[in-house]
Amino acid sequence: MKTPPVITARARALSVLARVEATDAFLDLVLDAQLDEAPLADPRDAGLVTELCYGATRRRMLLDAAIERFCDRKLDTIEDKVLAALRLGAYQLYFTRTPRHAAVGETVEALKGLGLQRAAGFVNAILRKLAALESPPLPPPEPRAAHLAVRESHPQELVERWTRQFGPDRAEAMLVGDNVPPGLVLRTNTSKTTREGLLAELRAAGLGAEHTALSPVGIRLSGVGRVEDLLGFEQGLWSVQDEAAQLVGLYAQVPESARVLDVCAAPGGKALHLAETHEQVVASDLHQNKLRKIEAEARRLGLSGRLALHAHDATTPIPSEWGEFHAVMVDAPCSGSGTLRRHPELRYRRQDADVLRLATLQRRILESAQEAVAPGGLLVYAVCSVDFREGPDQVELFLRSHPEWTLEPPVLPPELKLPLWQGALRTLPGPEGMDGFYAARLRKLY
């Protein structure tokens, strides 16, 4: 069998960035596929490839503004791999400790390694000019939105909307937070262990493990490698889940005796969180392949016996044979604007038309889901978005058209402090180090 060619970290990063640019694919999926495709010159370089790809994507608008200063052609006319090399080199110059001569020289060599020797001189000339600048050029401080858009690499329209919705200081903190790489957060599998017990084991193994600030079942880890190699993975002692997503399950306060349905279950975090404390959880999703992944995770966690899985379109009526539910979770498809630090490519792609389309889909799912809730039961609506149109506006519209429903904030134990806003759960990107989530707990009165 022919051995696949060995490739350098920078060449692999160029290939990933070029493919994401050319196909509008998700960065994480392309990165994972290409890291599995061919061996790197040094296996430890997988971390470097990841940093370069995510960093160059997070800072793309700023990098492009710097490149345009010295480029004699429009960036959208430049070949994908050549443009990726320019961005990659500029990112190393301004945001890593790579020596400037190496940032330029090794990026050019990576481009040559991909068979693009003809573009090497063009890339080398621009990167050398960028290397002469101590920092990337920025637009004037005013108007503020235009300055922040380039400085923090977010479309100006998004900067302006967040400023209107959250105020200038919080909006700026959200922009900055989106450019901080997320750390690894675990959710303790409370059906098998306690957070304190898991913390003690992780620390004894030499890992930097700390409590999460708000979730009583969360643990933050630092300095870790492959998730699958971590203590407790094979034993199913924990799941990977951002703290904000953990708070949704805690905010729901679904009684342990309740029979629960999660109608948009993939990737499964919230359904499995419910299954840790509830004997009967039904989880459905449109895509059968995603359900298989949930099933595998349920087996790892030892929760298969509590979880029933069904392929189902959440915009259509819930099959009556599934029975009656005391609580329904709707973790609706959304724009993902609360997860831009994890999926930085989304900030450049999402358009108003996408949000409006998704809001229509969310309304259809809500209409279907509310029919499945028994009188007196709960409906928990959640989105990993900070856009009002997908969160509070969506819930307000639902309540206006359904007088039999009301917003009912949970009665929380004294030790559980959740970031509530107008009775709903709301987390925002920023210095707290969490994703942005909105969740509303609704009660069916009759």
Question: Which residues are tagged catalytic?
Answer: 384
> If 0-12 CB within 10 Å is exposed, 13-18 middle and 19+ buried, where does residue 185 land?
buried
| Sign, Cα dihedral of 393, 394, 395, 400 | positive
The string over 74-95, giving b where at least 16 C-beta atoms fall within 10 Å of a residue's C-beta and e elsewhere, is eeeebebbbbbbbbbbbbbbbb
At 234, list the tokens. Answer: 């094979």
Q: Which of these, 80, 100, 75, 81, lies nearest to 90 by C-alpha position? A: 100
Question: Is the separation of the CB atoms in 244 and 183 below 8 Å?
Answer: no
Give the CB-side neighbour count of residue 33, counting CA atoms within 13 A.
Answer: 11
The separation between CA 278 and the C-alpha centre of its own chain, rounded to angstroms, equals: 26
> Helix, strand, or coil here: 325?
strand
Q: For residue 305, how far is the Cα from the chain centroid? A: 29
